[in-house]
A and B are shown apart, each in its own frame.
Chain A
Amino acid sequence: MKTMRLLIIEDDREAAAYLVKAFREAGHVADHAADGLDGYSRATDGGYDVLIVDRMLPKMDGLSLIGGLREQKVETPVLILSALGQVDDRVKGLRAGGDDYLAKPYAFSELLARVEALARRKNGSGSAPTMLRVGDLELDRLSHKLTRAGRDIPLQPREYRLLEYLMRHAGQVVTRTMLLENVWDYHFDPQTNVIDVHISRLRGKIDKGFDSPLLHTIRGAGYMIRDSAR
């Protein structure tokens, strides 16, 4: 993942300082704006890959800020952080022009993975190619055919969607909640970790019998598909 430039608009200084530090450690550049107006003017100047916006801010609340940016044709991806974390709150946030939503409290690994996914979406302009490749694994998005090293691998529809999402984010950490949201369209936390079972089943199909594994578990964060040979 190349270095991202991030703007964190958050009025809680301690939380913001923690985020700035954590993103730096992850190899990114993060600026901080402490209120809505400051954040708005900095965001319009542009140059950021992703904005991380708190829902409740002094001087200008998060949703107005996003609405204002979108009106000014500033299309920088926005991740909304909110202490509310209710279904209608998320819907409102996305409707206002946010691209992703994360309820507080969250794990930093979750935030990092989501921000990286947003930055990737911004830079990878347009739609994904019809043929997704990771190492010798090839997924044809038109025929839904999967081959590894030329060998056909049959996929269930849900496995196809899971793998497609992982391959579109190849080289990036994808968390369990991201999978649940994007593949199943659920925003709740299942009591049992059902995603792990789906992943291990998928892994059985694409990695079993091959020398180098492609689907990796990232401890404490999620999963990543990448060509480990390179």
Chain B
Amino acid sequence: MTALGKLFRTTAFKLSLAYFLVFAVSASLVMGWVAWNMRRVMNDQLAATIEAEIKGLAELPGPGGIRRIVDIIDRRARQPGASLYLITNFVGQPIAGNIVALPPDALREPGLRETTYERLGDTDVERRALARVLILPGGFRLLVGRDLEDREAISALVGRALVTSLFWLAIIGAFGGLFVARRVLRRVDAMNASAQTIMQGNLAQRLPVGRSNDELDRLADNLNAMLERIQELMVGLREVSDNIAHDLKTPLTRLRNRAEEALRTASAPQEYRAALEKMIEESDQLIAIFNALLMIARLEAGSETAPVKTFDLSLAVRDVVDLYEPLAEDAGVKLIIDECADCLVNASRELMGQAIANLIDNALKYGARAGEGAPAEVRVSVRRINDVVEVEVADRGPGIPPEDRDRVLGRFVRLEGSRSQPGSGLGLSLAAAVARLHNGSLRLEDNAPGLRAIITTPAATGEATQKQMDQ
């Protein structure tokens, strides 16, 4: 592409050209309108002057009137800057006046018109005039007119002004347009350049943002925010995959060791069988961990799109409690539920159920060993506090020391003393991820003695509730 072709293709050029055309057309229109009006006003004035003069002449009274008119015209025609006069007799011979030549039939019809003429003492120059012809009694014709030189001069002046101003407009417009467009385009080019670097893998790079807070700055701001989010997700993804790789290696190693050990030491078929069954069990455990990890990762990335509906969280909690009731009874733990009358939420029943099941599971596992003299009970309360619905699972076990409470929400964190219990160390992280996905939170508090795990989620708004009821 040639340099010129490139210029034509730039947005800057197109914009300047478009603006120039718009300005040129509107300027021409305005000046043309002004000129036309000026001409009209001047014509009106001239016509009025002529009219007044001719009226004065025609009204001269009675016999000998023509003679008096001729006298007056003769006198007036000699004055400097006089109007144009001509009076002819019935055969068309001039009797008096300051006009020497006229187009042949200029005097034939009475009325006001524009015509050409030659002036006395200034022959051979054709001029233009606005003139009125009046037919007097006796076949005499009277012409009174005014020269149009002034009017033509002004028209010419306006025309020249228009051309000159268009010329300057073009120059100023072109430069101004180029200047403005280049300023804008330079910023767009800068953004493009940054985008290129970012695409080449430098995700930490950001687009340049000016200080004017105009559209371009806001665009750059938004794109930067988008890049920020992308980078966050990338980092999160990398962390998750690192963790998964690390955390799955341990059980995989165990699985492998078991197979090796069976090959080395087992001799009877039933020993092999036992080893194989054990290995399937461990594989299942591994699959469960893998699924839980994947689930947490997806929840945290916000890519899990479980179906959401409006439901009574109190009823959902009752279902989970119902599921764990026999287990609690076998463990000698009293599982109590405090229900809530007004706890509609907009959530995934499946995910919330799983989160609450994890909390109850934990409470039964670790809270069943009653503290000093406290009764072994797990109390599940559902309540609404303003716009938030809370589910609290409180046990009477040893609890978690305050300094460890944040830590146990992380993946695979298992406190000393809990390792003897089966479990992956993912239950609380999953519950926390579910809560976050629902714009809620999971917090751990002291139950003196014991632990209170509280999962919160926003209450369903009246609108959503209504919608559900309409269905």
Contact = CB atoms under 8 A, between A and B. Distances in A.
Given A86-B298, A184-B319, A194 B306 contact: no
A88 B323 contact: no
B291 A197 contact: no
A91 B307 contact: yes
Interface stretch (B75-83, B165-173, B357-365): B357-365
Interface string B332-369: 00000000000000001011011001100100110000
A88 B357 contact: no
A220 B280 CA distance: 10
A87 B323 contact: no
Contacts of A91: 306-307
Contact of A187 (B284, B350, B427): B350
A197 B328 CA distance: 10
A4 B424 CA distance: 39
A198 interface: yes
A124 B304 CA distance: 37
Contacts of B287: 105
B323 A86 contact: no
A158 interface: yes
A215 to B, nearest CB: 15
Interface in B311-336: 319, 322-324, 326-327, 330
B358 A86 contact: no
B326 A201 contact: yes
A91 B306 CA distance: 8
A111 to B, nearest CB: 14
Contacts of A201: 326
A176 to B, nearest CB: 12
Contact of B354 (A105, A188, A198, A220): A188
A191 interface: yes
Interface residues of B, number: 35
A145 B324 CA distance: 25
A191 B307 contact: no
Contacts, number: 67
Contact of A197 (B319, B326, B353, B427): B326
B306 A88 contact: yes
Given A87-B350, A186-B350, A186-B353, A191 B305 contact: no
B427 A87 contact: no
Interface in A166-222: 184-192, 194, 197-198, 200-201, 220
Given A87-B304, A87-B351, A88-B306, A189 B327 contact: no
A85 interface: yes
B282 to A, nearest CB: 13
A229 interface: no
A15 interface: no
Interface string A66-94: 00000000000000000001111001000
Contacts of A1: none
Contacts of B364: 192
A149 interface: no
B216 to A, nearest CB: 39
B306 A85 contact: no
A201 B325 CA distance: 11
Contact of B288 (A158, A185, A189, A194): A189
Given A107-B284, A191-B358, A191-B427, A87 B306 contact: yes
A25 B365 CA distance: 40
Nearest to B423: A191
A187 B427 CA distance: 16
A172 to B, nearest CB: 22
Interface string B176-210: 00000000000000000000000000000000000
Contact of B323 (A103, A107, A189, A190): A190
Contacts of A88: 304-307
A85 to B, nearest CB: 7
Contacts of B305: 87-88
Contacts of B427: 191
Contacts of A220: 277, 280
Given A186-B354, A191-B358, 8 more contacts: A85-B294, A87-B305, A88-B306, A186-B350, A188-B350, A189-B291, A191-B424, A197-B330
14 contacts: A86-B304, A87-B305, A88-B306, A91-B307, A107-B280, A186-B350, A188-B354, A191-B357, A191-B361, A191-B424, A192-B327, A192-B361, A194-B326, A198-B323
5 closest Cβ pairs, A-B complex = A87-B306, A197-B326, A188-B354, A88-B305, A197-B327
